[in-house]
Structure 1
Amino acid sequence: MTLLTQVTDTAQQVIDTVNKAIQPVTTPAAPVDDLRFGDLLIKGGWVMIPIGILAVLGLVIFFERFFTIRKASKDESELMRQIKGSITAGKLDSAVAVARNSNSPLGRMLQKGLLRIGRPIKDIEGAIENVGKLEVSKLEKNIGILGIVAGIAPMFGFLGTIAGVIKIFYDISKTDNISMGVISGGLYVKMVTSAAGLFVGIIAYVCYHILNMMVDKVILKLETDAIEFIDLLEEPSR
């Protein structure tokens, strides 16, 4: 019984020792505060202000241009049919009135061409082309600003991150504390500016090209309708 008791005591001591050894490992870590999107944006620093301004500016320009270009790209087949009918019937004043009342890029182009009827075709084509250039210029207004936003928003983000890193190492040089917690704790917050800048830049880049593609489609449609109008004037019956 003495030997058995010693073995039991020894086994119990081993179990107690193992439990003490693994206890620090199994102890649950202190709860970490959840990351909140709003808090991260605030911790990004002053650089988040110009990035936010660029984001708002880009969205305002995109939606304003989007609806303007979409309005200009509406189907004008009815307008062409009415003008063609008026010209065929010899009612030039009626055709001019129809073009004026349409209040569209194509209508203004055709109105200028109708007012030049009686002159050489080259003069009519030149007048229509000049008005077309003005209309396209109106459609492209402020689209270039989206390209600028797409370019400088990421730069502001990188500037904020670099400024944050400089401050982190400056604080380390003052306190002589090079622990990983100090470095990572400040760095992940400053990386928010880079992420925000890239996000705004990507969105602005996509919006910029969407608007350009819409304008290209309008230009193609205007050119097609203008050619049809010129062909109508060149018909032998006219």
Structure 2
Amino acid sequence: MSLVQATVDTLNQVQQQELPVVVQEDLNLLQLLMKGGWIMIPILLLFFLGLVIFFERYITISKAGKTEGGLLAQVKSNVLAGKLDSAMAVCRSSNSALSRMLQKGLTRVGRPIKDIEGAIENQGKLEVSRLEKNINILGIIAGIAPMLGFVGTIFGVIQIFRDVEVAGGIDIGSVSGGLYVKMIASASGLTIGILAYIGYHILNMMVERLILRIETDAIEFIDLLDEPSL
């Protein structure tokens, strides 16, 4: 028994010595992303473009919503007092979407109410276009980024099988390792697409709320001009 036990112990020691040492590679997020291949460059560019557009539009729309407060009340008080020049001055000093619409209406006071309403409506369309500027680009990014990610993964898989063909055999470790690296492109594209999609709808909701408020104030202003006393 002692000889058998000694032989088993010797074999175990030999096997332990022959086991390969697995070296774990510590990667930060940027290094991991760069392993996704050349396709990660346009994907990251889309990410930064979407980020810039979202924050620029978010700040612009938020600022536009804040500048509208109290404007209509000042214009109404001046109009009721017959001070159209003062009302125009208030609009010019505000320099907001609503103020430009009201100013357009004030310049047509004395004409038929339909003319005033049409002028305000046309100016309103221009203001909506300004508020929605570049928002559609986020929608485009939401569609393109995932597709670029899939393209990167497909090219990566093609390269892996090409290497297998050249080597003349399948190394499971190399295939699985290469495949997980190529899936980084798909994961990045999907993540950026989802973020762009969320940002697109957040901005659209902000614009819709602001438009509703502006339209409500514009209708109230038209009703004021349509009163018989004016």
User: Match for 2:34: what amino acid?
Assistant: I
Alpha-carbon distance in 2 for matches of 1:35, 1:57: 26
**Closer/same/farther in 2, CA of residues 206 and 20 from structure 1, 3 Å limit:** farther
> Given that residues 138 and 200 in structure 2 are in contact (C-alpha distance below 8 angstroms), is that contact kept between their aligned partners in structure 1?
yes
The total of aligned residue pairs comes to 228
Residues 237 and 206 of structure 1, relative CA distance in 2, 3 Å threshold: same
Cα shift at 1:75: 5.3
> Take 1:106 and 1:126, find their aligned partners in 2: how far apart are those partners?
15
Q: 2:110 aligns with which of 87, 100, 118?
A: 118
The residue number in structure 2 matching 1:177 is: 169
Distance 2:139 2:165 in 1: 40
* Matching of residues 72-221 of structure 1 within 5 Å: 72-74=64-66, 76-221=68-213
Shift of residue 98, structure 1, vs aligned partner = 1.0
Aligned to 1:65: 57
Output the amino acid matched with 2:71.
Answer: L
SS at match of 2:70: helix
The one-letter amino acid paired with 2:89 is A
> Counterpart amino acid of 1:122?
K
Query: What's the secondary structure of 1:32's corresponding residue?
Result: coil
Unaligned runs of 5+ in 2: none
Of 130-139 and 227-236, deviating more is 227-236
**Does structure 1 retain, via aligned residues, the 8 Å contact 2:67–2:94?**
no
CA distance in 2, matches of 1:46, 1:124: 57
Distance 1:21 1:122 in 2: 100
SS of residue matched to 1:236: coil
- Give the drift of 1:22: 5.8
Q: TM-score, normalised by structure 1?
A: 0.89
Q: CA deviation at 1:108?
A: 0.2
Q: 1:46 aligns with which of 38, 50, 62?
A: 38
Q: Give the number of the structure whose alpha-carbon radius of gyration is greater.
A: 1
Unaligned 5+ segments in structure 1 are 1-9
Tell me how far 1:45 sits from its aligned partner.
1.3
Q: Does 1:227 align with 2:215?
A: no
Superposed CA deviations along residues 187-219 of structure 1, whole A, max 9, x for unmatched, are: 111111111111111111111111101100111
CA distance in 2, matches of 1:171, 1:31: 23
